[in-house]
Copies of this chain bind each other. A is one copy, B any other.
Amino acid sequence: MPEMKIITAVIKPHRLDDVKEALQSFGVHGLTVTEASGYGRQRGHTEVYRGAEYTVDLVPKVRIEVLAEDDDADSVIEVIVKSARTGKIGDGKVWSVPVETAVRVRTGERGPDAL
């Protein structure tokens, strides 16, 4: 059974749509999204409530997970990186980790067939 990867990307929320489309064109037909907040070089903003000023230093991000076959993994990373890029601070990170088992709940299929 060929190995698989789980690719995680933390990106700017308004890039999600483009990333989804780019992945779709590439042939990836599934992904899982969670809302996240990121802390990094990109600064947050200040808020004022009745004279008390708060620094909100976490910025909204979207976290994407894509299960991919080993062979596709690098291309998938490439696709995400390209479609998520704005070139400005805070564009986020992508990383991949090898997966041992992957199963489709509905059918119990394993490995690449689970996708």
Task: Report A's interface with B, CB cutoff 8 A.
Answer: 4-6, 8-11, 20, 29-41, 58, 61, 63, 65, 67, 73-74, 77, 80-81, 84-106, 108, 114
Are the CB atoms of A33 and B40 closer together than 8 Å?
A: no
Smallest CB gap from A94: residue in B: B103
Residue numbers in B under 8 Å from A106 (CB-CB)? 85-92
Cα of A81 to Cα of B104 in the assembled complex, Å: 8
Contacts of A81 in B (CB 8 A): 103, 105, 108
Residues of B contacting A100 in the complex (Cβ-Cβ under 8 angstroms): 5, 73, 95-98
A102 to B90, CA, bound (A): 15
Q: Which of A31, A80, A100, A108 has the most CB of B within 10 A?
A: A100
